[in-house]
Amino acid sequence: MNILERYHAMEYGPAPEARNEADAWLAARDFSKALFIGGDWKAASGDKTFDTSEPSSGGLLAKVSDANAADIDAAVAAAAKALPKWSASSGYQRAKVLYAIGRAMQRHQRLFAVLETIDNGKPIRESRDIDVPLAIRHFIHHAGWAQALDRDFPGHKGVGVVGQIIPWNFPLLMLAWKIAPALAAGCTVILKPAEFTPLTSILFAEICERAGVPKGVVNIVQGGPEAGAAIVNHPGIQKIAFTGSSEVGKIIRKATAGSGKKLSLELGGKSAFIVFEDADLDSAVEGLVDGIWFNQGQVCCAGSRLLVQEGIAEALIAKVKARMSRLRVGSPLDKNTDIGPLVDATQLDRVKSLVAEGARQGAVCWQPDATLPSSGYYHLPTLATGVSPANILAQEEVFGPVLATMTFRNTEEAIELANNTRYGLAASVWSENVNLALHVAPQLKAGVVWINGTNMFDAACGFGGYRESGFGREGGREGMFEYLLAKLPLGPVIKPATTSAQPVEQADGAAIDRTAKLFIGGKQVRPDGNYSLAVATAKGKLAGEVGLGSRKDIRDAVSAARACKAWPEATAYNRSQVLYYLAENLSGRASEFAARLTELTGTSAKAARDEVEQSIERLFLYAGLADKFEGRVHQPPARAVTLALHEPVGVVGIVAPDTSPLLGLISLVAPALAMGNTVIAVPSERYPLLATDLYQVIEYSDVPAGAINIVTGRTAELAGVLAKHDDVDGLWVFADAETCAKAEAESVGNLKRVWSGNGRSLDWASDEAAGDAFLRRAVEVKNVWVPYGD
């Protein structure tokens, strides 16, 4: 046997990680008192516990305190008590605490890694080399944000008491992603880990004690669904941050509707891994191994859909199978293990069920010839070929080591297949042609795109999704905004619109009657139901009639907005010119609009003229900002740059208030348009003639058909239709509290981004009712990772 033959015949020997320190830590703890509340360790008030087991063997690790609603009350009380002093502390003081946490974690880095592997089942190499170092990085990175808060986020303050719920797939890392920015912002925290994986959060609470975190600033409560529901519904919590399944995310969105709580959701995914024919196939295969079999595929952004160009499909699949046959499945504490066990028997059963159903629907499922350990929750890596786009393995998040494969012919088809999902968390693009890769990345409906790489994360770079993958960002500047509030100038409470049965008195005069229609797709159209709504002057006389929009009219407006490609694809400079032109043309009819304002609202001639001038000025402001509110370039500590691109949310529904009916409408529509969104506007129910006058200006201002659509009618009814429409991507509602709450609750179909005034209007004339605070709501931030070097 020559040297080469001996090399190929070599087998990896066992390389076990010592667990004696972790076992000693487990033996020394009383897990029946595992609730960390107000700086003290407590048992659950009901003395209940739950079991946490070791996935590699099924053996019991600990019986852990199971919190109930009373325990959550105690944690919220502790956090609220600690909040004033913590939020009033200087950025430097908070930075020192965050830094101390990071340094203390470094001193116990190995213990964290071993505990994470024992409790979760992920290979020790991943816990040791990825999860724990990145968790530490988040605390040290956010120490800097704490000290730079006043400089970088002027006019913002911490949101208050925060409830955080994290999953079992990255227990320590998700804890760091949540707690670090909250503490930097001056918030206090109640965090609930998953029942499957509580151990590293308990060790982290001990670190908080040692690092000098003031009592009550960090509260960690172990528990199940009862504890989670109590956090979501607690009136003393000002923000909910959740990472988990899309199904639970929708429940939380509905539960928090109308509460005024700030909400961020990082949910499931079905990420595309796109390989073009000019890609380095060997590199792509290694990236694929990391993309789908990292943490046994129990990753929300796992590259679980392989899209490969037809010409290289056969060669790539052969390489993938060869690589799969060499993956080592076994003890997660063995440093040579590639794939450990799934977290629990229920997860294993779910993965097996989905694979069986995928095969029943026509997929060919291949697994390497390997022997699984005799105990534990192991599943072989699985490659599904012949997968149709509708197959369950292509559409549902398996959350296991299962890869679904499809082919494409050209770039357009690749993009279409990649976007053929209700999710939008991440994607990978593999091509040696960087021009092609950067052409494809902006067209993918995903919050993170990796070019010639996958699963790259850093505390400086935002992470989060589109569509049913949730909203909000974790990490970096974008992530800090999730724990901060801008001071918006509140206006009066908005009262529900009342429909009077009394006829409006006919106005005097001999003017020719004019029918104010709806404005859809660049045309004035009659409402589908052929009903009209009478509009009264301030003196109670008939000012005119407008169309009474219905569900069908909203559907037509959404179709027109979705079909308008010219506006979102226009350059920011082109959009700027159109908005300037719109302001110019409104200025030419300023006297007419001022007179209409006085007629309808009864305001003085001077006040009316001021509102029109402020509306023109606001259009000018957003015209000027259209090509200036840009993304950023992040430089993570890796050979890569991350482009944080600003992209339009998409189709945005806007429900405008009665207060300042012209200025309020323009203050909402203009920033949405400036960022490239298309709009369906529901104007003031009481004063809609200002909007119907406005679309006459729109018609000769070079606005592409469908960019702005105006549907007049009943605010509450039309807001509900927009909320339920799954082709509307964002919804801004300034209406009465009940209408706002219903809009938030009914938005769960596609988890659209909803911004509501919670029953209050704004002081639209104030400087704070314009600018970046509005533009941030008009964009999605897509982080595109571009590696460099050999």
Among residues 555, 517, 567, 558, the alpha carbon closest in space to that of 707 is found at: 567
Among residues 319, 304, 309, the alpha carbon closest in space to that of 279 is found at: 309
Tokens 């348009």, residue located? 673
- Report the amino acid identity of residue 561: A
Neighbour-count burial of 631, counting CB atoms closer than 10 A to its CB (0-12 exposed, 13-18 middle, 19+ buried): middle
Among residues 402, 405, 382, the alpha carbon closest in space to that of 325 is found at: 382
Neighbour-count burial of 20, counting CB atoms closer than 10 A to its CB (0-12 exposed, 13-18 middle, 19+ buried): exposed
Q: Alpha-carbon distance 290 to 275, whole Å?
A: 15
What is the token pair recorded at 44? 């659950």
What is the token pair recorded at 698? 């729109």
What is the token pair recorded at 227? 């504890």
CA distances (Å), 178 to each of 172, 222, 550, in order?
A: 10, 16, 42
What is the token pair recorded at 157? 């303050």
Q: Alpha-carbon distance 649 to 752, whole Å?
A: 9
Long-range CB contact pairs, 413-418, < 8 A, 24+: 414/274, 414/276, 414/307, 414/309, 414/440, 415/440, 415/443, 415/444, 417/272, 417/305, 417/307, 417/389, 418/272, 418/274, 418/305, 418/307, 418/444, 418/445, 418/446
Query: Would you call 266 a catalytic residue per the annotation?
Result: yes
Q: Alpha-carbon distance 108 to 90, whole Å?
A: 28
Give the 3-state DSSP-derived string for 707-756, with helices as H, strands as E and coil as C.
CEEECCCCHHHHHHHHHHCCCCCEEEECCCHHHHHHHHHHHHHCCCEEEE
Q: Alpha-carbon distance 208 to 373, whole Å?
A: 38
Give me the catalytic one of 17, 126, 187, 300: 300
Query: Would you call 740 a catalytic residue per the annotation?
Result: no
Among residues 229, 269, 217, the alpha carbon closest in space to that of 71 is found at: 229
Residue 731 near residue 753, CB atoms below 8 Å: yes
CA distances (Å), 724 to each of 306, 731, 743, in order?
A: 32, 10, 8
Give me the catalytic one of 17, 195, 266, 478: 266
CA distances (Å), 106 to each of 100, 204, 239, 775, in order?
A: 10, 12, 29, 39
Residue 382 near residue 366, CB atoms below 8 Å: yes
**Residue 568 DSSP code:** H
Q: Which residues are catalytically annotated?
A: 266, 300
